[in-house]
Amino acid sequence: MVAPELEALKRRYFKVHVDEPLIFHRKELVNRKYPFQALREPGVEESFNVDFLALLARLQYKVITAVIDKLEHRHRDAAWQRHPYHYCQAVLLERYVSSMGKSTGAARAGKLKAGAGSGSPEKQKTGPETGSRRRHPTFNLQV
What are 40-54's pLDDT values in tens digits?
999 999 999 999 999
pTM of the model: 0.61
Smallest CA-to-CA distance from 14 within 28, 34, 42, 31 is with 34
For 63, half-sphere exposure in the C-beta direction (CA atoms, 13 angstrom radius) is 5
Residue 10 has pLDDT above 90, yes or no: yes
Decide which of 39 and 142 is more confident: 39
Distance of CA 105 to the CA centre of its chain: 26
Residue 129 has pLDDT above 50, yes or no: no
What are 54-96's pLDDT values in tens digits?
999 998 887 888 888 888 888 876 666 778 888 888 888 888 8
* DSSP assignment of 12-43: HHS--BTTB-----HHHHHHT-TT-GGGGSHH
